[in-house]
Amino acid sequence: MKTYAILNMKGGVGKTTTAINLSYLLAAEHGLNVLLIDADAQRNATRALIEAGDYPTLYEILTGSELVSYWMDATQPTDIERLDMVPASDLLWGLDADPTGKFWTVHRLKDFLAAAAEGQTYDVAVIDCPPNFGAATAAAIMASDGIIIPMLPDAYSAEGMADLTRQIEGVKSINPDVRVAGILINQVQRAGVVDDAAAYIRENAPCPVYKNVIRRTVKVIESTWAKEPVLIWSPRSAAAQDYRAWVRELVDTEVLLPADQGGAAPASGEVLQHA
Ligand SMILES: Nc1ncnc2c1ncn2[C@@H]1O[C@H](COP(=O)(O)OP(=O)(O)OP(=O)(O)O)[C@@H](O)[C@H]1O
Ligand SMILES: [Mg+2]
């Protein structure tokens, strides 16, 4: 089982949208068994995919609650075949208030996923991170093989490359083995200034940048109201097409499918460079 954290300390860059649509595509179109973990107290991914209920959440995993004595206690099915999720709780807000919290909680998601991996139920886990460096984010980084960074093609992101480098250093200090899989440029519009920003990000990023980008379309915003992946809400929209192309790129570069199921041949090098 491979685990990817969708991470960027900047808010509103498309982490949740990417986590939901990536999970959907891996499950529905690539036939993988996927576990989506909502690590954000805002609970946007949880609210999009499952009904409110009295179920254990990531909070119970991170606090070692006896409500989660077996890993399956904390997973919930969604309406999408092969896609389960670990919901978030608003109690996650309080984790960071406990000064010892980070220390105690940081290993627990990794241990939980190791137990799930033994059960061989899931091929991929995707973690939707909050826009801060709190205990849940630290636990997500600790549990991940790869980090995917959605980024807007604006001046703030371009000028924020030094911040991004520091963020990556922070990530590596938590988990030296984690790899920054790539930056995904999101909300691209047809405009010279956007092309310039995207080109700047490609030239100056301290990590690979995916060849495919996600265009901005109102269908994504509509899909949040419909509580559906944009792939279901508007499968032919620009963003749906782009997510499909990007996930194909990810599946190939990360070798998520065996070769006899259409996966790419294993890469010889550890670090994969995207154009
Ligand atoms: N390609 C797109 N086109 C249009 N709107 C988009 C696109 N991607 C995301 N959005 C919209 O941008 C807003 C922020 O997206 P999202 O919630 O995925 O970001 P986030 O990084 O998870 O935010 P937060 O940091 O608050 O968790 C949402 O309203 C979403 O619908
Ligand atoms: Mg979010």
Does the beta carbon of 216 lie inside 6 Å of ligand 1? yes
pLDDT at 259: 62
Please check whether residue 272 lies inside any domain of the structure. Answer: no
CATH number for 241 = 3.40.50.300
Indicate which atom in ligand 1 lies nearest the CA of residue 44.
17
Write out pLDDT tens, residues 235-255: 999 999 999 999 999 999 997
Whether 9 is covered by a domain: the verdict is: yes
Cβ neighbour number for residue 127 with a 10 Å cutoff: 31
The answer as to whether 50 is a domain residue is: yes
The total of structural domains in the chain comes to 1
Ligand 2 center to residue 70 CA distance, Å? 27
Q: What are the pLDDT digits (tens) for 166-185?
A: 888 888 888 999 999 999 99
Whether the pLDDT of residue 267 is over 50: the answer is: no
**Cβ of 173: how many Cβ atoms within 10 Å?**
10
| Residue 100 located in a structural domain | yes
Question: What separation in Å is there between the alpha carbon of 153 and the centre of ligand 2?
Answer: 18
| Residue 268 belongs to some domain of the structure | no
**Residue 174, C-beta contacts closer than 8 angstroms, at least 6 positions apart:** 106, 138, 141, 142
In the predicted model, is pLDDT for residue 262 greater than 90? no
The pLDDT value given to residue 268:
42
pTM value? 0.92
Place 111 in a pLDDT band, splitting at 50, 70 and 90: very high
Range of the domain at 72: 2-261
Helices 238-253 and 15-28: crossing angle in degrees, nearest 10, is: 70
Probe residue for ligand 1, chosen from 17, 156, 224 as the CB with the greatest number of ligand atoms within 8 Å: 17
Ligand 1 mutation target, pool 22, 43, 217, 221, most atoms within 8 A of CB: 221
CA end-to-end span of the chain = 26
Rounded distance from Cα 19 to ligand 2 centre (Å): 9
* Smallest-distance ligand from the CA of 7: 1
* Cβ–ligand 1 contact at 220 (below 6 Å): yes
Is residue 121 in a domain?
yes
**Sequence-ordered strand ranges (E) for 39-165:** 76-77, 83-86, 124-128, 146-151
Tell me if 12 CB under 6 Å of ligand 1.
yes
pLDDT band at 100 (very low <50, low <70, confident <90, very high): low
Is residue 233 in a domain? yes
Residue 202 lies in a domain: yes
Mean pLDDT of the chain: 89
Whole-Å CA distances, 156 to 131, 150, 160, 197: 15, 14, 6, 10
Q: Exposed/middle/buried for 85, CB within 10 Å: 0-12, 13-18, 19+? A: buried
Q: Provide the 10 A C-beta neighbour count for residue 227.
A: 15
Ligand 2 centroid to 14 CA: how many Å? Answer: 7
